[in-house]
Structure 1
Amino acid sequence: MSAGKLLVYLVRRDLRVSDNPILHHLATSKHGYTHLLPVFVLPPHQIEVSGFLADDVEESPYYPALSKVGKFWRCGPHRAKFLAQSVWDMKTSLESLESGLVLRVGNFAEVVTSIIESLKSSNNSVGAVWMTEDQSVEEEDDQKAVSLACFANNVDFKLWRDDKYYIDDRDTGLRNSQDLPDIFTSYRKTQEPLRDRPRPSLPRPNVASLPPLPPSTWMPPQKPPFVTSSTYEDFESRLLGPLENLLNYPPAYPRNAKSAHPFIGGETCAWDRLHHLVKNGGMFYYKETRNGLLGPDYSTKLSAYLALGCITARQVHEELLKLENGTDPAYVRSRGFGGGENEGTKAVRFELLWRDYMRLCTMKFGSRLFRLSGFKGDDKYEKDWKTTDEKIASVDQDPSPFEVRTILNRFLTGKTGMGLIDASQRELYHTGYTSNRARQNVANFLSKHLGIDWRYGAEWYESMLIDYDVSSNWANWQYVSGVGNDPRGDARVFNPVKQAFDYDNNGRFVRTWVPEVKQLEKLENVFQLWTTDHEELAKLGLVDDIMVTDPLKKIEFSVDRKPRSSRRPNRWRRGNGRGGRGGGSSSFPEYGDGSDGHQNNSPTGSGKQDEGGARMDRNSHSSAASRGGSARGRGIAWRGNARGGGMGSSLSPVKLSRLAKSSHIAAPRVNMVLKLIMALFPTMVLLQVILSTVLSIMPSPVLILRLPSPRLLTRKLPTPSNTPNI
């Protein structure tokens, strides 16, 4: 038996047997390996492993798996459970192919070294170690450590290309990562048409086509002081056991609230979900429904499966092709069958490309993914971010580090007083999922309204999201926070009240997850509890609620006409603008310009008007800190309707844009030109009177100057943008 040649396959985020390059190669080629040992490693720096300690051991040799800034568990209970399900599903699938999967606890290099040494002691040997590449900093460090361990033990090491993304790296046209454009639109244009880009996926290996597991007598044991699990129940219990006490005062689970992500992890359930989406119209209607907030089918919910590699982007693409081309009888009754690419399937591919782009950004910028100054770098971006860390906080930081800690706790528990933000945070805490639209607003609120270090939010999402993906999460938080590759940077600010009116226009989402406001009739009260009359607050027992007495932010907002439907008509706008997302691997991309033009950079009472029709009002309400509370901020008075306009409602932004184009004036200079015209307005009116008088006494016609209406001259033109929408 010692003449056998054993291959160790280190499984990470490639938890599938179909479209798996390593398994496909072993099943279809003459490789010379007599045995295959697939191993899934639980790395202690990313996953808390103290639950796997032997019963007689009290202390782990590893530090707790906590985040750097916020000290949150890096893998919270929702993702830990989904991971356990996905790992066990792959184990079951491999066993059905007459193979298997071994679980180990420890650093990758330690696990590999332990396996090699154990086999040597029994007169057996490891021929090679294979693993799939991953581009993030920690993952690359693990790869290097495994490579060095193999070199030290004279064992071959091979790193396989990660094929779970939409467009193969060999087909992007990029010579290296530094060639990647910093603007997504520029990259997208080089990859279109997207429908023709992916390579074919690889089939599932046949039964008995893989090299067998080594005999049990060869099998190296788990290195002490840890033990491994032989049943799924024990595996899940040990993973989730340490992940308690996430928050000191967590919000209660609302009665009758249901998770928008009730799905089980693993390749098997990933395919069930994909087939359901195609058969039931989820893909066909995706573009119309993707901005929803409640229910399991407003978005694909494939992001968690994609993040762990339970399914690949090109497998999703191939199912779309079967629908569009009408080649699979299973979809014959599905909407869009045989009709070619439609707006829904086109939008899905757009999202898959955005995931690719986030990963490529990680390859390009490396450790800057986690830097406070973001991709922009220290030399290009300076901002006094608020922090809880007294060691790095500025001497005059207001609010103080202690007050920021209080603000953060309210932010995490969903007690900010901003209905949309609170509903999303409570949903995230209880279910591990929240919508793309909500993620954008949460990220924008923390970073741009509260001015708090955005990494607290990114780390909280890393901990809580089922669909966490390192590139999508961190790059999108940078994007929304103004330190990433959003060309508009700090200028892209959301009004969370307006966003709530736009996307939760009946208040169902906020009422579902913030039961305190469930009985309120007026939407403005639902979205900001402090706006409710004292009498009604007293009736509901909410007079002393902190969301009333001390909201972290107050935004005065009026709606002149009915808010938009949550099924917002998202047209393919010029440049396919995108605004990034604030979280997990579903990321935050959207079409069009979703920001509200809501600027927060003028002192209170300055009267400075922004591009969206909002202005700073000396009578507006300030934030908690300026009233002696814990949060610092500026009062905002929103003047206008749900679409951002308040003056001259008969003249739409579309018409203003057309005026700008017809005048052949560069968009950034339109406002300056209009101000000049306004200054000359009295003279121009007098000139028109004189010309009219001359016309009345002259036999030949004279051209009369047509002036824009005064109402037009008081409006600022929206700046056309082909940048991403948040």
Structure 2
Amino acid sequence: MTTHRVLIYLLRRDLRLPDNPVFHEIHQLSQQAQKTFTHVLPVYVFAAQQVEVSGFVTEPSSKSPFPEARSEVGKFWRCGPHRAKFLAESIWDLKSQLEGVGSGLCIRVGILGQVVEDILDQFRQADEASVSALWMTEEEGVEEKREERDVRKAAEKFGIGFRLWLDEKYFIDDRDLPFDKPSDLPDVFTTYRKSVEPLREAPRKTLPSPPSLPPLPTLVPLQTPPFSIPDTFEKLESALMKPLMANPPLSKPPCFPASGVASAHPFHGGNTEGEKRVEFLVKSGLMTRYKDTRNGLLGTDFSTKLSAWLALGCITARQIHSQLFEFEEGRDDRYRAAEGYGKGENPGTAAVRFELLWRDYMRLSTRKFGYRLFRLEGFRNEHSFAWKTPGSKGSGPEVAEMLDRFLRGTTGTTFIDASQRELFHTGYTSNRARQNVASFLAKHLGVSWKLGAEWYECMLTDYDVSSNWGNWQYVAGVGNDPRGEARVFNPIKQGCDYDPRVSKERRAELGLNGLDMVERPLKRIDFKVGGKGRGSGSGREMTDAAERNPMGMEVAAFGQDERRSRISSKLVSPALIIIHHMLVDGDCCWILRGWNGNINWTVGDIDQLLDGWKERKQASKDREMEQPE
């Protein structure tokens, strides 16, 4: 005789108990006299096409029935070691929170639709329980929509009620948008932003964490073989990491940083840690100073670093807004000592809301354009680019070498190499660096931007399908950037602007000291002191010097007092001077020289280049579109 009526809640990227509309509704319904369910089974499935699950196979004689979870073009792991660890921590934190309110979490492995069918079939064969309904939260993305269709079909097959909930982890609720159809979303972010301002008044209130939930059913369906579900966090993490460590993302990885070097992203997954981070950011005054620090490159606190928790739904954008609002209004004594407490919105808190809205916009763009998020021609349906892909028709062996050096951080362009190495070792690199890396691959090297997007999917801890693919399209010139291909980042200028010290400590941390004498950089990029950058309004700031310079190049270093003695007194030959790295450590400047052209520059010309740098830096006003960290 059936005694349990079970509600199944299938979780994906909504890994939190507070501000979760599904858990909130479950608690509310459980308090009513007439109940449609007596037990709740929260389920999380490691999707085999997105996360490598062969580590859950424990029998030596067995193997996973699923193909490896690798990307389409580059064949990279779709979920690399950094995100796998953060995901495991987030799931285990949710499991602990659920157990604390009388529930629990059922962890499974497989393809979502198949796993749901198997669970429903096991319940149908049992006498003591039946499933009353199946709920899940909607998400954007081609795979995500396919999962929702498959789960709906499985529920209909077994005659189970199915409900798809709105995804409420974003800044502005879908029900409050000023348009009804996805096609009405403006193709320019600024237009969208103006339609929903003022941002401080836009989000809905957060939902409280439920104090209790109905228990798990006595019958919890078993995992199908050959997989086995670990019963401790350590075993769960090991199962996810085992295949990734056996076949690392790079066969010849960049050298590991010096001992004692701190990661810019030392954080752990889960709602508990995410909420702690938000509180710290407000209490320390970092939110107030965010607008001034967000383009930094070093340390844990120049930016919020909240994106990894947001991507998995461990925290919500409106939770962040809520804490900012309480701080601005002076309503939370925890923040009383923080800079700006009780003084209303300030430039820093406004900038945080701006970045949260950008995440919203990327997600809505995915809803509007669907599969075009992953198309080479992008949202713009741009076919004019001749992207290069290793092994494709017309691509020689040099393309594979370019990609390999790009991935390993040995391009010879320090800003790019530093970012790539930091990404590989920590799972994080700054927003400013990400924009430069994307521009370098797509616009300087001419390599398919999809390879970069896939590599970021593999390596980033904070990977989010809409933000990652949408922003790669944006920088590559095929997305919803109104300037398209005209926006080109000069990594030499950007490195000088945003990492002007390029300190010895930073170079040592990232193993870049040996790259000062790179003989054959992938690209030689001109930086003209008097020019206007394409990233700042008009003109062209960079030229492809490699097209004109097939010869090798030597690297010369000289200090301010040595310039005249280290260079020919009248003319410099080879004459073309390209500023490559500018290290303001003891006024040392690194110069690349080597083209035997017909341009002769005097020492005075060189002095003008070098001495005019600080004036140029102060005078330039970079108006590049800011993107989320």
The interval holding the TM-score normalised by the smaller chain is 0.7 to 0.9
For each residue in 1:6-46, what CA deviation from the matched residue of structure 2 results, as whole angstroms up to 9, or x when unmatched? 11110110000000111100111345211100011001000
Distance 1:423 1:594, change over 3 A: farther
Q: Quote the sequence identity (%).
A: 52
SS of alignment partner, residue 474 of structure 1:
helix
2:541 corresponds in structure 1 to: 598
What are the Cα deviations for residues 505-548 of structure 1, in whole angstroms up to 9, with x where unaligned? 11137514443428xxxxxxxxx834xxxxxxxxxxxxxxxxx2
C-alpha separation between the residues in 2 aligned to 1:460 and 1:202?
Answer: 36
Alignment of 1:232-271 (within 5 A): 232-244=233-245, 245-255=248-258, 256-271=260-275
Partner of 1:631: none
Q: C-alpha offsets along residues 546-586 of structure 1, whole Å, 9 cap, x if unaligned?
A: xx2211112344769xxxxxxxxxxxxxxxxxx9xxxxxxx
CA offsets 1:621-641 (integer angstroms, 9 cap, x no match): 899xxxxxxxxxxx9x99999
> Contact 1:267–1:305 at 8 Å: present in 2 too?
yes
Residue number among 73, 76, 93 corresponding to 1:72 in the alignment: 76
The equivalent of 2:216 in structure 1 is 213
In 2: Cα distance, 1:200 partner to 1:511 partner: 45
Post-superposition CA distance 1:192-245 (Å, at most 9, x none): 1000000001000013xx221101xx1111011111011111000001100022
Q: Aligned pair in 2 of structure 1 residues 596, 319: CA closer, same or farther (>3 Å)?
A: farther
Alpha-carbon distance between aligned partners in 2 of 1:434 and 1:95, rounded to the nearest angstrom: 35
Residues 361-400 of structure 1 correspond to what in structure 2 (within 5 A)? 361-377=365-381, 380-390=382-392, 393-394=393-394, 397=395, 400=396
Q: Deviation string for 1:450-487 (max 9, x for gaps)?
A: 00000110000000000000000000000001110111
When residues 136 and 643 of structure 1 are mapped into structure 2, their CA distance, relative to the original with a 3 A threshold, is: farther
1:328: Cα distance to partner? 0.5
Q: Residue by residue, what CA displacement relative to the aligned partner does 1:95-134 show, whole Å, maximum 9, x if unpaired?
A: 0001000100011111111111111212232111110001
Alignment correspondent of 2:565? none
Contact (CA 8 Å) 1:5, 1:33: kept in 2 or not? Answer: yes
Stretches of structure 2 that go unaligned for 5 or more consecutive residues are 550-573, 581-596
- Mapping of 1:674-685 within 5 angstroms? none
The answer to whether 1:404 aligns with 2:399 is yes
Contact 1:492/1:597 (8 A) holds in 2: no
Instruction: Pick one of 288, 300, 305 that aligns with 2:304.
Output: 300
Matches within 5 A, 1:165-564: 165-207=170-212, 210-215=213-218, 218-244=219-245, 245-255=248-258, 256-377=260-381, 380-390=382-392, 393-394=393-394, 397=395, 400=396, 402-508=397-503, 510-517=506-513, 529-530=516-517, 548-557=518-527
CA pair 594-444 structure 1, distance change in 2 beyond 3 A? farther
Residue 39 of structure 2 corresponds to residue 35 of structure 1: yes
Distance 1:43 1:644, change over 3 A: farther
The 3-state SS of whatever aligns with 1:125 is strand
Q: Is the 8 A contact 1:501 1:642 kept in 2?
A: no
Q: Structure 1's 189 and 602: CA in aligned 2 closer, same or farther, altered over 3 A?
A: farther
Query: TM-score normalised to the size of structure 2?
Result: 0.85
Aligned counterparts, 1:7-22, within 5 A: 7-22=7-22
The 2-side partners of 1:75 and 1:205 are apart by: 31
Shift of residue 652 of structure 1?
Answer: 6.5
- Residue 653 (structure 1) shift: 7.3
CA separation of 1:621 and 1:385: change in aligned 2, threshold 3 A? farther
C-alpha deviation, 1:291, in angstroms: 0.8
1:251 to 1:649, Cα distance in 2 relative to 1, 3 A: closer
Q: CA RMSD in A?
A: 3.1
Q: Over residues 151-190 of structure 1, what are the superposed CA-to-partner deviations in whole Å (9 max), with x where a residue is unaligned?
A: 1111111100000000001111111110000000000000
What do the CA deviations read for 1:330-375 (whole angstroms, capped 9, x no partner)?
A: 1110111001000000000000000000000000000000000000
Does the CA-based 8 Å contact 2:256-2:510 persist in structure 1? no
- The offset of 1:725, in angstroms, is 7.5
Give the SS at the match of 2:27.
Answer: helix
CA distance in 2, matches of 1:421, 1:257: 19
User: In the aligned structure 1, how far is the partner of 2:251 from the partner of 2:102?
Assistant: 47
Gaps of 5+ in 1: 519-527, 531-547, 561-578, 580-591, 607-616, 624-634, 655-717
Tell me the amino acid that sits aligned with residue 253 of structure 1. F
- How high is the TM-score relative to the length of structure 1? 0.74
The amino acid across from 1:517 in the alignment is N
Structure 2 residue aligned with 1:703: none
Following superposition, the deviation at residue 138 of structure 1 comes to 0.1
Indicate the structure (1 or 2) with the bigger Cα radius of gyration. Answer: 1
1:2 matched to 2:27? The reply is no
Q: Quickly say closer, same or farther: Cα 1:597–1:170, change in 2 above 3 A.
A: farther
Q: Which has the higher strand share?
A: 2
Q: Do 1:78 and 1:465's aligned partners in 2 also have CA atoms closer than 8 Å? A: yes
Report the AA paired with residue 453 of structure 2: A
2: distance between equivalents of 1:34 and 1:467? 36
In structure 2, do the counterparts of structure 1 residues 595 and 354 end up closer, same or farther at CA, with 3 Å as the change threshold? farther
Cα distance change of structure 1 residues 621 and 593 upon mapping to structure 2, 3 Å threshold? closer
> How far, CA to CA, are the matches of 2:210 and 2:389 in structure 1?
51
Give, in angstroms, the shift of residue 494 of structure 1: 1.3
Conserved? CA contact 2:5–2:36, under 8 Å: yes
Code of the residue aligned with 2:254 in structure 1: it is P
Structure 2 counterpart of 1:413, one-letter code: R
Q: State how 1:136-155 maps to structure 2 within 5 Å.
A: 136-155=141-160
Partner of 1:680: none
Q: Secondary structure at the match of 1:426?
A: helix
Quick one: distance in 2 between partners of 1:309 and 1:649?
Answer: 43
How many angstroms does 1:312 deviate by?
A: 0.2
* Contact 1:20–1:202 (CA under 8 A) maintained in structure 2: yes
